[in-house]
Amino acid sequence: MIYLPREDSYLLKKWVEKLAHGDVLDMGTGTGIQAFAAAPKAKKVIAVDKNPEAIEYCKNAFHIFENVEFRESDLFSNVPEKFDFIIFNPPYLPESKYDKEIDTTGGKEGWETIAKFLKEAKKHLNKKGQIVMVFSSLTNPKKVLEVAKKLGYKAKLLDKKHINFEDIFVYEFSI
């Protein structure tokens, strides 16, 4: 199953269109929505996903941008490069007996995939590089910001939106 763009995707995309530059990584690309939003402003976009179906879909669906490359990767396992701008709409919901999908759940408490990503991303950011990431009030935002601070990131809230039963946030992280 491929994650179809939802409110979180569209809120993040707005900031990707504004801020993307240089060498860009789209982590967890899904349908490729963020990669294609970044492409017109980027030098090069590498878009990765753990889900081979998503990568297959993107490779077949889009041939418009020559500066976008799709690759299968579990976080940075297949990504040796460094970037100026990293995008991530992560799986950020806590696991429940109803939902254990890789596109939505980020671990038992929801923030675990984000914590792993932030730890690894530090080695893949160029000087003055930025990460833009979306997550929810259901992720435990306090924990995400605490983890980011411990890793040495500065965090800036770019956007917030209330949707049904949750708030979603877009944050920028930089070193």
Ligand X SMILES: C[S@@+](CC[C@H](N)C(=O)[O-])C[C@H]1O[C@@H](n2cnc3c(N)ncnc32)[C@H](O)[C@@H]1O
The binding site for ligand X (CB under 6 A) comprises 3, 5, 9, 12, 27-30, 33-34, 48-51, 54, 73-75, 89-91, 102-103, 113
Is 91:103 a contact under the CB 8 Å cutoff? Answer: yes
For the CB of residue 129, give the shortest distance to ligand X in the complex, in Å.
19
Return the residue nearest ligand X (CB atom): 28
Nearer to ligand X, 28 or 110 (CB): 28
Nearer to ligand X, 36 or 153 (CB): 36
User: Residue 22 class from Cβ within 10 Å (0-12 exposed, 13-18 middle, 19+ buried)?
Assistant: middle
The string of DSSP codes covering the chain is --PPP-HHHHHHHHHHHHH--EEEEEES-TTTHHHHHHGGGEEEEEEEES-HHHHHHHHHH--S-TTEEEEE-STTTT----EEEEEE----BPP-SS---TTTB-SSSS-HHHHHHHHHHGGGEEEEEEEEEEEEGGG-HHHHHHHHHHTT-EEEEEEEEEETTEEEEEEEEE-
For the CB of residue 50, give the shortest distance to ligand X in the complex, in Å.
4
Nearer to ligand X, 10 or 154 (CB): 10
For the CB of residue 85, give the shortest distance to ligand X in the complex, in Å.
14
For the CB of residue 134, give the shortest distance to ligand X in the complex, in Å.
8
Nearer to ligand X, 102 or 155 (CB): 102
Nearer to ligand X, 55 or 127 (CB): 55
For the CB of residue 26, give the shortest distance to ligand X in the complex, in Å.
7
